[in-house]
């Protein structure tokens, strides 16, 4: 009686060994490090590595290791002070061709890393993760709104057959429309007043011409800025979801800033590149009739624009845009089956599909180009003052002859590598930013009171754990010590599960662990009290052990299932910290069921099973 078959002992032993192995990485801590990743067109090669080594050596900055993968350099340091100095040095040395980002990398030994063991993440309320403070370029948002109004006003005036000589944005802001006579201007004034209530109109006569100056009203400016901020927050959320970050914080700060906190991020260089990118696409027809030499001399034909391809070759494209990135509803990276080169597979919305179908049907045999547009914002110190510069890069990544009519689904090629294809697909899938953003503050976060939070959280777990151990040992003697062993194993398995799932541990998560410690012995208390009751009723020790475990099982299951249901509801309807609490509570219930029922039963069977006993130390 009270003996397990061999396979059950081996199963429990295997679970214990796996749990210990995957919980171990949490004891080794983290190393401050830098990650250097190339932007488009740049590469990480022997030359890059040597530049980094020479720059660090010449300034006396020591590092513990330097590792190079296909698209990244990772440099580990002994302390954060050296890490910060190296970041400033290498950012200046490498320029804007590379992203130099701070990070914390696990100091897990190689033999554990080879087994896939990694520590669990710590949330920003403890330690670890990346903090970005981003500023939305509201001037660009207003300029983009005015440019949209230029197109809309042009179409409206033509639709009403109102003649005008020209329409364009003014240098200081606003839109200027020139008319041949005052009558046409008055007609346009009344039409705009009726159709565009968010615009302010002013008639101006100068140099013998009749002008109508149109500016955005204060209310329209406020709405434009509000929309740009909210749209950027939405887009950033989509991009963070694509990055797979657990429990991110993305929220508005003031009128033009966004706080992004990414707990447990292990690839901040890519996060920085993806979050700050303003990449989009435009599809335009190529102009084969114009003289490229004339355009290079400064005489660009009306209705066309001069662009450069990736190899530097000039090309003339028509100003009329067929489809923009805003009309892309899905994008996936892959490989072109015919050429074997990286490709992005595009899906358009109904409006974009209709425009693409019309264009390709009418232009069979003619070339169409894909223009990649990216806005970069940098802040540099000039004469002791911060000067912000914005630069827009436009290049033609693909020119292809239209062979057949297509509309909703198609692919683009001409990308440098699969990494660029993945990044471009991610950006298009998540949507374009409504206005460029600049990362004005970036740091790997150890927030205020972070270390104190860790110490207090750890102390609370230890105190609760020790008090439970002492009580169980005092009240149930040897059986209490067995329960203590199971409780210790429960903590190890819980930490191992959190590590294997790469969960983010926050303060509420620690609260869930503390609660699990208290609840984990509930099952053993029920079992041990049942054994005591059976002994008092005159049953033999072996029969009492058997009855204690079998009869208490239904009560234990009921109590834990109801708690598990509550944890599932918390996870389903809660957000952020509440989800963290629910995860640790749920996992704690599962591990405590295993250790309290199977674990303690295995130890009791080993110690007392199959023996003649007169009494039990309980």
Write the pLDDT tens digit of every residue in 208-222: 889 999 999 889 899
Task: For residue 273, give the 3-state DSSP assignment.
Answer: helix
Percent of the chain beyond pLDDT 70? Answer: 87
- Give the chain's mean pLDDT: 81
Say if CB 519 and CB 588 are below 8 A apart. Answer: yes
Burial of 85 (0-12, 13-18, 19+ CB in 10 A): middle
Give me the count of residues in the chain: 618
Structure tokens at 472: 């169980």
Q: Cα-atom radius of gyration of the chain, to the nearest Å?
A: 33
Helical residues (DSSP H) of 537-576, grouped into ranges: 541-573
Tens digit of pLDDT for each residue in 157-168?
888 888 888 888
Question: How far, in Å, CA of 51 to CA of 33, rounded?
Answer: 17
Helical residues (DSSP H) of 176-299, grouped into ranges: 182-195, 218-243, 268-276, 292-296
Structure tokens at 54: 């020479």
Closest by CA position to 217, among listed 229, 200, 234, 195:
200
What backbone phi and psi angles, to 5 degrees, belong to 536?
A: -65, -30
- Higher pLDDT pick, 95 / 252: 252
pLDDT at position 449 = 46
What backbone phi and psi angles, to 5 degrees, belong to 131?
A: -120, 125
pLDDT at position 447 = 46
Question: How far, in Å, CA of 189 to CA of 486, rounded?
Answer: 82
Question: How far, in Å, CA of 570 to CA of 511, rounded?
Answer: 14
Structure tokens at 332: 């996936």
Q: Is the pLDDT of residue 370 over 60?
A: yes
What backbone phi and psi angles, to 5 degrees, belong to 405?
A: -75, 135
In the block, residue with structure tokens 């295995």: 602
Task: For residue 595, give the 3-state DSSP assignment.
Answer: helix
pLDDT at position 29 = 79
State the average pLDDT over residues 573-587.
79
Domains and CATH numbers, the chain: 6-24+449-608 (1.20.1640.10), 31-106 (3.30.70.260), 139-219 (3.30.70), 279-417+425-432 (3.30.1360.200)
Give me the torsion for CA of 348, 354, 356, 361, rounded to 10°. 150
- Higher pLDDT pick, 52 / 428: 52
> 616 Cβ partners below 8 Å, 6+ apart?
479, 531, 535, 541, 544, 545, 608
pLDDT at position 430 = 62
State the average pLDDT over residues 30-36.
83
Q: Is the pLDDT of residue 19 over 80?
A: yes
Confidence of residue 427 (pLDDT cuts 50, 70, 90): low
Question: How far, in Å, CA of 119 to CA of 499, rounded?
Answer: 5
Confidence of residue 20 (pLDDT cuts 50, 70, 90): very high
pLDDT at position 550 = 83
pLDDT at position 324 = 79
Question: How far, in Å, CA of 125 to CA of 508, rounded?
Answer: 10
Specify which of 87-96, 116-125, 584-593 reaches the highest per-range mean pLDDT. 584-593
Confidence of residue 145 (pLDDT cuts 50, 70, 90): confident
- CA atoms within a 13 Å half-sphere pointing along the CA-CB vector of 168: 6
3-state secondary structure 295-325: HHCCCCCCCEEEEEECCCCEEEEEEEEEEEH
Tens digit of pLDDT for each residue in 507-541?
788 888 878 877 777 788 888 888 888 888 888 88
Q: Is the pLDDT of residue 49 over 80?
A: yes
Tens digit of pLDDT for each residue in 189-212?
898 888 888 888 889 888 888 999
Question: How far, in Å, CA of 197 to CA of 38, rounded?
Answer: 47
- Prediction pTM value: 0.56
Percent of the chain beyond pLDDT 90? Answer: 2
Tens digit of pLDDT for each residue in 275-311?
766 667 788 888 888 888 888 888 888 788 888 887 7
Pairing of strands 314-324, 65-69: unpaired
State the average pLDDT over residues 355-365.
87
Question: How far, in Å, CA of 587 to CA of 596, rounded?
Answer: 14
Q: Is the pLDDT of residue 128 over 80?
A: no
State the average pLDDT over residues 351-371.
87
State the average pLDDT over residues 42-67.
87
Confidence of residue 448 (pLDDT cuts 50, 70, 90): very low
Confidence of residue 582 (pLDDT cuts 50, 70, 90): confident
Confidence of residue 17 (pLDDT cuts 50, 70, 90): very high
Task: For residue 113, give the 3-state DSSP assignment.
Answer: helix
Task: For residue 135, give the 3-state DSSP assignment.
Answer: strand
- Higher pLDDT pick, 312 / 380: 312
Of the candidate ranges 190-204, 333-347, 435-449, the one whose mean pLDDT is the lowest: 435-449
Question: How far, in Å, CA of 24 to CA of 113, rounded?
Answer: 11
The whole-angstrom distance between residue 172's C-alpha and the CA centroid of its chain comes to 37
Closest by CA position to 136, among listed 2, 227, 52, 51:
227
> 13 Cβ partners below 8 Å, 6+ apart?
none
């Amino acid at each position: 009686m009270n003996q397990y078959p061999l396979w059950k002992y081996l199963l429990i032993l295997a679970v214990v060994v796996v749990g210990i192995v995957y919980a171990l990485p949490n004891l080794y801590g983290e190393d401050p490090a830098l990650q250097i990743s190339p932007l488009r067109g740049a590469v990480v090669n022997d030359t890059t590595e040597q530049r980094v080594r020479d720059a660090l050596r010449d300034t006396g900055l020591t590092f513990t290791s330097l590792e190079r993968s296909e698209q990244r350099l990772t440099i580990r340091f002994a302390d954060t002070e050296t890490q910060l100095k190296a970041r400033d040095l290498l950012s200046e040395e490498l320029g804007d061709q590379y992203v130099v980002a701070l990070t914390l990398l696990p100091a897990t030994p190689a033999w554990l890393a080879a087994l896939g063991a990694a520590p669990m993440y710590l949330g920003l309320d403890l330690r670890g993760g990346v903090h970005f403070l981003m500023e939305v370029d509201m001037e660009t948002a207003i300029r983009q709104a005015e440019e949209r109004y230029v197109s809309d006003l042009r179409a409206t005036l033509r639709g009403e057959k109102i003649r005008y000589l020209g329409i364009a944005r003014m240098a200081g802001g606003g839109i200027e429309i020139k008319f041949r006579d005052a009558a046409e201007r008055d007609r346009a004034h009344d039409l705009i007043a009726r159709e565009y209530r968010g615009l302010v109109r002013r008639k101006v006569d100068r140099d013998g011409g009749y002008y109508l100056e149109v500016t955005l009203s204060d209310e329209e400016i406020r709405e434009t800025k509000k929309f740009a901020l909210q749209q950027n927050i939405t887009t950033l959320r989509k991009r963070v979801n694509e990055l797979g970050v657990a429990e991110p914080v993305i929220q508005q700060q003031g009128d033009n800033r966004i706080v992004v906190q990414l707990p447990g991020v292990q690839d901040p260089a890519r996060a920085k590149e993806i979050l700050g990118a303003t990449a989009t696409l435009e599809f335009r027809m190529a102009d084969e009739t114009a003289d490229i030499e004339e355009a290079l001399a400064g005489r660009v034909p009306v209705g066309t624009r001069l662009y450069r391809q990736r190899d530097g070759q000039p090309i003339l494209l028509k100003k009329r845009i067929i489809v923009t990135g805003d009309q892309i509803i899905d994008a996936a990276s892959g490989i072109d089956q015919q050429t074997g080169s990286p490709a992005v597979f595009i899906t358009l919305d109904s409006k974009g599909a209709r425009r693409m179908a019309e264009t390709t049907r009418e232009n069979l045999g003619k070339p169409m180009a894909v223009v990649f547009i990216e806005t970069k914002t940098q802040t540099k110190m000039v004469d002791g003052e911060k000067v912000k510069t914005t630069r827009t890069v436009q290049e033609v990544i693909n020119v292809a002859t239209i062979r057949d009519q297509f509309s909703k689904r198609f692919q683009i090629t001409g990308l440098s590598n699969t990494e660029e294809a993945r990044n471009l697909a991610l950006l298009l899938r998540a949507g374009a930013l409504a206005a460029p953003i600049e990362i004005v503050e970036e740091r790997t976060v150890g927030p205020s009171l972070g270390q104190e939070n860790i110490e207090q959280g750890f102390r609370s777990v230890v105190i609760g754990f020790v008090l439970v151990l002492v009580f169980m040992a005092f009240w149930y003697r040897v059986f209490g010590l067995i329960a203590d062993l199971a409780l210790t194993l429960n903590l190890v398995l819980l930490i191992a599960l959190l590590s294997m799932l790469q969960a983010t541990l926050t303060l509420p998560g620690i609260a869930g662990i503390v609660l699990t410690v208290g609840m984990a012995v509930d099952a053993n208390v029920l079992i041990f009290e049942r054994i005591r009751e059976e002994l008092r009723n005159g049953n033999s020790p072996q029969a009492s052990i058997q009855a204690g475990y079998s009869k208490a099982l239904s009560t234990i299951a009921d109590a834990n299932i109801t708690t598990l249901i509550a944890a599932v509801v918390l996870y389903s309807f809660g957000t952020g910290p509440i989800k963290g609490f629910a995860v640790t509570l749920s996992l704690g219930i599962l591990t405590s069921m295993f250790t309290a029922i199977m674990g303690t039963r295995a130890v009791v069977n080993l110690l007392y099973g199959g023996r003649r006993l007169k009494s039990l130390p309980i």
